[in-house]
Structure 1
Amino acid sequence: MASDQQPAPSRPTPPQTLSEAAFRDLYRRLRDRAQGGGEDRRGALDLLTPERVVAAAAEVRCGRTVSLAAPIETLPGPDSPEPASHRMTAPTHREAGAPGLAFARDRFAMNVHGDVDSHLDALCHVIYDGELYGGVPSSTVTPDGAGALTVDLVRDGIVGRGVLLDIPRLHGVPWLDPGTQVTAEDLAAAETAQRTEVGPGDLLFVRVGHRPRRRSLGPWDVTRARAGLHPTAVDFLAERRVPVLGSDGNSDAAPSAVAEVDFPVHVLAVNAMGLHLLDYLDFEELVPVCEERRRWHFLCVVAPLRLPAATGSPVNPIAVL
């Protein structure tokens, strides 16, 4: 069995780019082997059987809970040109000083699919060649909302065994440099180093160190440079039959390994395979707990908002150890 100690610092091997033809071959192969999803079109969530949920709950040891979401930000920055807005609507000055009852009230609005705040991508979020997951026509998404594959699919939450693979830890660095692309070999090596294994129905979380880099060096334009998965790493997800993928980035690297497709991992995971994605999470409170307990798996509970026609939702996943 491999040691649980961190190795000496190493540099990830630069992965190769993919031609559009090679990407389309990969897309078709993953789409063809994906879970059918049934008439309810739940996609890969059908892998989260009641038996697997019960087994995940049985692994709770100390009952400690840890949030995997970052605090929502309201200040603009190079990675957040449209930040969330929060304002107080009450009490007024008159109400605040008056005797008797008064209420504090506020209003909140956000761009769900921004590059700062933690959120869930529904299956209707990614359109490729005019279709959503499962061949649903993109015309089901209208200015009034999405008509299929919405966040309403997960109105009862996503509950299962979460597994965190820490790629910077594998290479002995605090974070991966923007532009780094995580390979399937990296994911498998992290399993070995952490003495854990990703199995059918597991919620896979991949740490690239986006949050500590942002806090240490400041925000940057992540549309031009960010660490993420190489498209071929999605084969790992398919082989392990993973229904949910989460990252402290947005799972896609920039620049893209596919010149003609800016978000190849989104296309492969959401559109081809029917996976729900969790973007821009925060694992920095979870990592030391996992290291202390030498366990990198946990019960995970994800509860998006009830937004029946929405393509995504802000989310606060909770790890229970």
Structure 2
Amino acid sequence: MSSNRIEMTLPFDPDSTVFPSRKDVPRRDDAPEGAAWVWGKDDNLGRLNLLTPTRVKAAAAEIKTGEAISLNNSLPLNVPEVPAFHREKFKHEIKPLVEGLAYDDLYTLNTQSGTQWDGFRHMAHLPTSTFYNNTKGSDITGPASNLKSSIHHWTHGGNICGRGLLLDYFTYAQQHSLPHDPYTSTAIPLSSLRACGHSQNLDIRPSSLGGDVQIGDILFIRTGFTRAYNSTPRPERNALAARPHVFGPEDGQRWGGVEQSSEMLDWLHDCYFAAVAGDAPSFEAWPSGKGWYLHEYLLALWGCPIGELLDLERVSERCRELGRWTFFVVSAPANVEGGVSTHVNGTAIL
């Protein structure tokens, strides 16, 4: 992939079939070290630019049986009952318009309290206090606030739809007696994801290197949080969700997820995923012991949406029954101007 270095100029063509590796991405003068702001100075879509009509049309070939499986089916808006990171609980009220004849709903919610896409306004590159594509905190709140990196741009870009690729790490870990507790900060290294892929007859290298990952794929990793949540007694799981929360290595909030490592960064970048997602409160192991977070790279430096708390139980079960781990996926983000994050409203179609 690095051989494309000289040929790639800014902005990138989203329909290109080759892209540079992380170390070879052209740098912009206004970008932090490691940023891949490659789609233009006015861009608000990031890696979602890769979901071009050509790729969406190709992804439709993944529909074989026509089965539609919700990615938030067993996780309604009030689940988890006690959200992680001390977020507000979902509240639902019925408003009578004419008693016995007509009613409305009233919702009070934090979009990060359950099944969610983290938008580009969610977390900055910490050393520079910079969000995706040179967005600052003053762009998000205050008298000069505007719509830079707002979630509503995703809906104008055609929503999130393309080829999903699922790694059922939870089943792999069980089969190989690997310790993984979703309620601790257990980190999943890239070597284990590779081995998981191999067990599913998937080579998780980029297609340019002979692997099965295609440009613009949407990555899903099942770690077993949904099953753990449902099998943990209510008082215990609520107490775990209410653990003390302070940002940093001493955080009492502990969640299993993907490991922070240089090789993980290279893989996530060089595969050119359009988005990544998991089933736990944090896609990456939380808190980080490395002094940096994958959230910084994925959201702020690359513009790659992060999905969390998705329900991957049924889709993983059906994929195993069918012996195939790719499918068509569609998600409809909320069209909220200035929004930070959104519910997934997602469906896998097999």
Please, what TM-score do these two structures have when normalized by structure 2?
Answer: 0.74
8 A contact 1:68–1:317 mirrored in 2: yes
Measured in 2, the distance between the counterparts of 1:168 and 1:266 equals: 22
8 A contact 2:254–2:287 mirrored in 1: yes
Show the counterpart of 1:268.
297
Identity %: 27
Measured in 2, the distance between the counterparts of 1:280 and 1:190 equals: 20
Measured in 2, the distance between the counterparts of 1:185 and 1:311 equals: 33
Q: Which amino acid aligns with 1:49?
A: T
The reply on whether 1:254 has 2:286 as its aligned counterpart is yes
Match of 2:190 among 155, 178, 184: 184
8 A contact 1:30–1:235 mirrored in 2: no
Q: Per-residue deviation at 1:255? A: 3.1
Measured in 2, the distance between the counterparts of 1:76 and 1:288 equals: 25
Find the residue that maps to 2:102 and give its secondary structure. coil
CA RMSD of aligned residues (A): 2.3
Measured in 1, the distance between the counterparts of 2:180 and 2:275 equals: 22
Show the counterpart of 1:161.
163
Q: Per-residue deviation at 1:138? A: 2.6
Show the counterpart of 2:116.
119
Gaps of 5+ in 2: 1-30, 203-211, 244-251
Q: Per-residue deviation at 1:236? A: 1.4
8 A contact 2:87–2:110 mirrored in 1: no
Measured in 2, the distance between the counterparts of 1:88 and 1:58 equals: 42
Find the residue that maps to 1:200 and give its secondary structure. coil
1:36-57: CA deviation from partner (whole Å, max 9, x where unpaired): 1223332111222221111100
Measured in 2, the distance between the counterparts of 1:190 and 1:75 equals: 27
8 A contact 1:146–1:310 mirrored in 2: no
Show the counterpart of 2:21.
none
Alignment of 1:206-285 (within 5 A): 206-218=221-233, 219=237, 220-221=240-241, 224-232=253-261, 233-249=264-280, 250-258=282-290, 260-261=291-292, 264-285=293-314
Show the counterpart of 1:11.
none
8 A contact 1:230–1:252 mirrored in 2: yes
Alignment of 1:1-321 (within 5 A): 30-31=34-35, 34=36, 36-38=38-40, 39-69=42-72, 70-73=75-78, 76-77=81-82, 79=84, 82-90=88-96, 95-96=99-100, 102-114=101-113, 117-128=114-125, 129-142=128-141, 147-155=147-155, 156-172=158-174, 176-177=180-181, 178-196=184-202, 197-218=212-233, 219=237, 220-221=240-241, 224-232=253-261, 233-249=264-280, 250-258=282-290, 260-261=291-292, 264-321=293-350
8 A contact 1:118–1:280 mirrored in 2: yes
Note closer, same or farther for the CA distance 1:29–1:63 as it changes in structure 2 (3 Å cut).
farther
Find the residue that maps to 1:234 and give its secondary structure. helix
1:207-244: CA deviation from partner (whole Å, max 9, x where unpaired): 11111111111422375211111122232111211120
Measured in 2, the distance between the counterparts of 1:86 and 1:297 equals: 35
8 A contact 2:37–2:133 mirrored in 1: no
Q: Which amino acid aligns with 2:51?
A: L
1:49-92: CA deviation from partner (whole Å, max 9, x where unpaired): 22111110022001100011121117853736521110111156
Q: Per-residue deviation at 1:146? A: 5.4
Note closer, same or farther for the CA distance 1:137–1:150 as it changes in structure 2 (3 Å cut).
same
Q: Which amino acid aligns with 1:161?
A: R
Q: Per-residue deviation at 1:35? A: 5.5
